[in-house]
Structure 1
Amino acid sequence: MTVLAEAFGLVFQPYVLLVILGAGCFGMFVGAIPGLTATMATALLVPITFFMDPVPAIAAIVTATAMAIFAGDIPGVLLRMPGTPASAAYVEDAFRMTRAGRSEEALGAVLIFSVIGGLVGTVVLVTASPILAEVALKFSSFEYFWLVLLGLSCAIFVSPGSVSRGVLSLIIGLFAATIGIDNPAGQPRYTFGNVELLAGVQFIPAMIGLFAVSEVFRSLVRGNERPTTIPVAKKSIFQAQWSNLKRYPIQVVRGSALGTAIGALPGAGADIAAWISYAVSKKMSRHPEKFGTGHVEGLVEAGSSNNAAVSGAWIPALVFGIPGDSITAIVIGVLYIKGINPGPTVFIHNPQMIYAVFIVFFVANLFMLPLGWLAIKAARRILSIPEKMLMPIILMFCIIGSFAINNSPFGIILMLIFGVLGFLMEENDIPIAPAILGLVLGPMLEQNFITSMIKANGSFLAFFERPIAAGLGIFTIVIWMIPLIVLLMHRRKRSTADAARSA
């Protein structure tokens, strides 16, 4: 009890609360700009944390990360330009709600359920860290291979339109992911002698191009398709989400639990969590046909999942010193600089520090409510800006975001190439979202497949020898077989009906 009181004393100081507020505003700003990710927000804060004590330093990173993940939804909802890869999972539903004059409902949904997901993930972080971390450590390259395949499968099933077009989009993304140095031979692939491409296709410029720049091109060709006025909402943001909470309680719990579990897997993160949660939501929904048309259910579940994954990623980081994602990798470095070694011993030698981190998670997620509300009220004014003024501003931010990744003009060239590609894909009714996920998960799929094959001496049976890998593998294959089984059942019913008519 003394340790807990000491932890509260470390957090609830004016200086620490001021740091949380400042970091929250910073994270909200960075996350809302397409191309400037939560990881970039964290990295930019690191030099400042050198001059802070451990608790405010960690508080700044935790708060900025949580805010940036939510803020990435703002341009996705209003402009169909997701600020983070996790936002891309449900950007179609979110933007269609905006076109229907329901932008505040969509923004309110991602805010409230991001907060709920973050709080649930924090509760799990506090209560079940050692257990979940043990499970996470049992994941080898075999398990990750099936997990990535499961995520890629979800991208096909959740994409609007035909499955064949979803597969084509996924193949485009996977092909782009193969560009660069071959693994493990070290041979350049599809680089055409370009030195810049040896490092592969940078994901951020590609995502900005596919979503944001293609939207700029579309506005030039078709004109304004966004609503320019916002009808007065009958309910406040929070009242509308209370109705959604009563309507979708299972989705909130399921999204938060799944997000925490996936976040606890080193290297998985909020991106895969959001995609898988959105796919599960569509599969389990009573109205799957509404997904992709402006249905709030997917936003509820995936929004809960992505912020729960942020908390889940800290489980292996704190318990074993193994980063759950790129953000916790930065955090581990900061902790080492502060003289704190993450791992089992930190719970013995610095328990007040760990409890302070837990409290910071709760405070950061609660701070998201007022800051998010202010961001929503400010962001809704974007819709009233004339198209001729807005699109050049968006293009300027896209150029800045693409250049800032490596301080190289090549990022801008990539952005423009993928912008043209995204425009052509959408003009031919090919969804963009599967291509994004293929680009994100393609390198992880290849790396884990080759590593597994080397371990197994080329034996495919090794992918089913470990219990968790076998379970994931069978589950993934069953999902692949569902469309074939449905098709065979339809044909059988049709042949039975034809036979009955002829009789």
Structure 2
Amino acid sequence: MTEMLEAFRLVAAPDVLIAIMASAVYGLVVGSLPGLSATMATALLVPVTFYLSPIAAVATIITASAMAIFSGDIPGALMRIPGTPASAAYTDESYAMTRKGQAELALGAGLWFSAIGGIVGTLSLVLMAPLLAEMALSFSTFEYFWLAFLGLMCATLVARSSPIKAIASMLLGLLFACVGMENPGGVPRFTFGIADLLGGIEVIPALVGVFAVSEVMRAMTTPEPPPLPRRRFGSILAGQWGLTKKYQWPMWRGNIIGIIIGVLPGAGADMAAWVSYAMSKRFSKEPEKFGTGHPEGLVEAGASNNASLASGWVPALLFGIPGDTITAIAIGVLYMKGLNPGPTLFTERASSMYALYIIFVLANIIMIPLGIIMIRVASLVLRAPRAAVMPVIVLLCAVGAFATGNNLFSVLLVGMFGIVGFVMERNGYPVAAMVLGIVMGTMVEQSFVTSLIKSDGDVLPFFERPVSSVLAAMAIAALLWPAGVWVARRLRPAEAAR
């Protein structure tokens, strides 16, 4: 009890409260700019943390990352441009809702269920940290390979077009992931003598190119659609309680998936959103509505990505193992401020741990009023003519791409992927599946090669370990799913002819 009171005193310090509010506004703005990810938002805060107290320093990381993950949904819903990679899984869905005149419902769902997911993820951090961390430590590269492979197969489940085209897009993404020297052999691949390609293709330029630049190109080649009704946004949270009651099970399933994926090192909010959206479509009673502006996928994926953000701190605090790139940055800040991760942190610095829990909950509570303000400001974009908006989007794309590597080559990559995305969409190939391949490709290859080195080339360990065998069965089932759909479609006409 004494430690809890001390924790409240630490959080109530003026410098901590100012740090929370300032980083909240900063995270909302950065997350809503296409190309500037939540990871970048937290990385840019590290120099600022040098001058803050330990609790205030960690509070800036927690608050900014939570806000940035949510606000990435805003440009996705309004302009079909995901602000962060975690928003890419359901960008098409939320944009379809906006075109149907349901922008408030789409943005409100992103805000409301992100806040719920963040709070549930925090409770998991408090109640189940030792259990979840022990489970994560039992995962070896064999399990990570199947988990990443299963994540790739999500491309076939979320695709609105042919599953075969989705797999083709995903394989193209894997090909792009092979570029560079970041492979187990350390051998340059597909660099064509270009030094800038040695470091591989970053996810952010690819993401910005296929979603943002291709959208600008599409706007240049099509007549301007009728403008959305010129009206003020109504209540952002209207209808959210109805969605909560209607989609209770998807919401809780998203929370659980987010918690489990978040605690696994290297996974993070991006994978949590993809897997949750795919699961939502797979088990929905109305799968045919997905992609047409159906809120069910937004509910599950929105809850999942913020839940994973909180649970990613479990291995970080207990063992110093980062759950994702954001907690990797946070671990450096913890060491710098003398809060060395480890089991003793929970006994010797219990009040500091309770303070972190309080900050997590506080960040997700203030997300709601600040998020409503941010949505209302961003909604002005809907009223602007296309000729005014598109040049600004191209400028933001260029700035975001340049900021990822501080070189002009990233800007060229954005343009190249814009052309690729434009051509793919014109021919019915889902660009989201390609982005998924780029995101997951490195993890799949690293886990596969490392596992083969461990087993001396034997593939049996991939199927012998209990958890690995379950994940293998799920991944193979997802792989065979398109073939099953194709056979079922072929059999239906034959039965009808009889």
TM-score of the pair, normalised by structure 1: 0.96
Q: Does 1:8 align with 2:8?
A: yes
Q: Which runs of 4+ in 1 moved over 6 A?
A: none
Q: Which residue of 1 aligns with 2:307?
A: 308
CA distances 1:63-93 after superposition (whole Å, capped 9, x unpaired): 0000000011111111111011111100111
* CA contact 2:163–2:482 (8 Å) conserved in 1: no
Distance (whole Å) between structure 2 residues aligned to residue 213 and residue 322 of structure 1: 36
Aligned counterparts, 1:141-220, within 5 A: 141-181=141-181, 183-220=183-220
Q: What SS does structure 1 have at the residue aligned with 2:45? A: helix
Q: Does 1:436 align with 2:435?
A: yes
User: 1:333–1:16: structure 2 CA closer, same or farther, 3 Å change rule?
Assistant: same
Distance (whole Å) between structure 1 residues aligned to residue 391 and residue 496 of structure 2: 59
Distance (whole Å) between structure 2 residues aligned to residue 489 and residue 218 of structure 1: 35
Q: Which residue of 2 aligns with 1:72?
A: 72
Distance (whole Å) between structure 1 residues aligned to residue 28 and residue 341 of structure 2: 28
Distance (whole Å) between structure 2 residues aligned to residue 404 and residue 487 of structure 1: 44
Aligned-partner residue type, residue 33 of structure 1:
L
Q: Which residue of 2 aligns with 1:248?
A: 247
Kindly state the Cα deviation for residue 389 of structure 1 after the two structures are TM-superposed.
1.0
CA distances 1:408-449 after superposition (whole Å, capped 9, x unpaired): 010011110101111111111111100000000001111111
Kindly state the Cα deviation for residue 480 of structure 1 after the two structures are TM-superposed.
2.5
Question: How many residues in Structure 1 have an aligned counterpart in Structure 2?
Answer: 498
Aligned-partner residue type, residue 129 of structure 2:
S
Which shows bigger deviation, 423-432 or 488-497? 488-497
Kindly state the Cα deviation for residue 114 of structure 1 after the two structures are TM-superposed.
0.2
Q: Which residue of 2 aligns with 1:221?
A: 221
Q: What SS does structure 2 have at the residue aligned with 1:192? A: coil
CA distances 1:349-405 after superposition (whole Å, capped 9, x unpaired): 100010100010000000100110001111111011111111111111111011111
Distance (whole Å) between structure 2 residues aligned to residue 249 and residue 101 of structure 1: 24
User: 1:176–1:402: structure 2 CA closer, same or farther, 3 Å change rule?
Assistant: same
Q: What SS does structure 2 have at the residue aligned with 1:238? A: coil
User: 1:66–1:261: structure 2 CA closer, same or farther, 3 Å change rule?
Assistant: same
Distance (whole Å) between structure 2 residues aligned to residue 208 and residue 375 of structure 1: 21
Distance (whole Å) between structure 2 residues aligned to residue 431 and residue 334 of structure 1: 39
Distance (whole Å) between structure 2 residues aligned to residue 8 and residue 193 of structure 1: 57
Q: Which residue of 1 aligns with 2:405?
A: 406
Q: Does 1:321 align with 2:313?
A: no
Distance (whole Å) between structure 1 residues aligned to residue 448 and residue 481 of structure 2: 24
CA RMSD of aligned residues (A): 1.5
Kindly state the Cα deviation for residue 186 of structure 1 after the two structures are TM-superposed.
2.3
Gap runs ≥5 in structure 1: none
Q: Which residue of 1 aligns with 2:345?
A: 346
Aligned-partner residue type, residue 255 of structure 2:
S
* CA contact 1:98–1:227 (8 Å) conserved in 2: no
Aligned-partner residue type, residue 250 of structure 1:
W
Aligned-partner residue type, residue 191 of structure 2:
T
Kindly state the Cα deviation for residue 171 of structure 1 after the two structures are TM-superposed.
1.3
Aligned-partner residue type, residue 348 of structure 1:
T
User: 1:236–1:408: structure 2 CA closer, same or farther, 3 Å change rule?
Assistant: same
Q: Which residue of 2 aligns with 1:332?
A: 331
Aligned counterparts, 1:11-410, within 5 A: 11-181=11-181, 183-225=183-225, 227-231=227-231, 236-410=235-409
* CA contact 1:104–1:380 (8 Å) conserved in 2: no
* CA contact 2:156–2:482 (8 Å) conserved in 1: no
Distance (whole Å) between structure 2 residues aligned to residue 402 and residue 258 of structure 1: 31
Aligned-partner residue type, residue 130 of structure 1:
P
Distance (whole Å) between structure 2 residues aligned to residue 394 and residue 184 of structure 1: 37
CA distances 1:133-153 after superposition (whole Å, capped 9, x unpaired): 000111111001000111110
Distance (whole Å) between structure 2 residues aligned to residue 94 and residue 489 of structure 1: 30
User: 1:483–1:171: structure 2 CA closer, same or farther, 3 Å change rule?
Assistant: closer
Q: What SS does structure 2 have at the residue aligned with 1:52? A: coil
Distance (whole Å) between structure 2 residues aligned to residue 183 and residue 68 of structure 1: 30
